[in-house]
Amino acid sequence: MLHVVLYQPEIPPNTGNIGRSCLAIGAKLWLIRPLGFKMDDRSLKRAGMDYWHLVDCQVVDSWEHLRAELPGHRFWFLTKFANKLVWDAQ
């Protein structure tokens, strides 16, 4: 299973859109605290549309807690600040 992790997300609509994408591809969404919004935020649910309640989403307190939940998993880190494009990842 693919896991998508958002580290300390701040923008509810972005998180909702990513959650909707996770649902479409069968991925689990992980959110690492602190969150910049409440999970019942209207804009989060609006971006997630009517699908948000179907998203497999788990909130954890820290990166260490996430690693404990996913032992042995390989991680790929993506950021808009990277020197390489995602397509060049090896």
Segments making up each domain of the chain, as ranges = 3-88
Asked if 69 contacts 29 with a C-beta cutoff of 8 angstroms, the reply is: no
- pLDDT tens-digit series, residues 2-54: 999 999 999 999 999 999 999 999 999 999 999 998 888 788 778 777 888 89
- pLDDT tens-digit series, residues 18-29: 999 999 999 999
Q: Which of 61, 57, 62 is nearest to 16 (CA)?
A: 57
Q: Which residues pair with 7 in a beta bridge?
A: 32
CATH level 2 (architecture), domain 3-88: 3-Layer(aba) Sandwich (3.40)
- pLDDT tens-digit series, residues 60-88: 999 999 999 999 999 988 888 888 888 88
Sign of CA dihedral 13, 79, 22, 30: negative
Quote the pLDDT of residue 70: 97
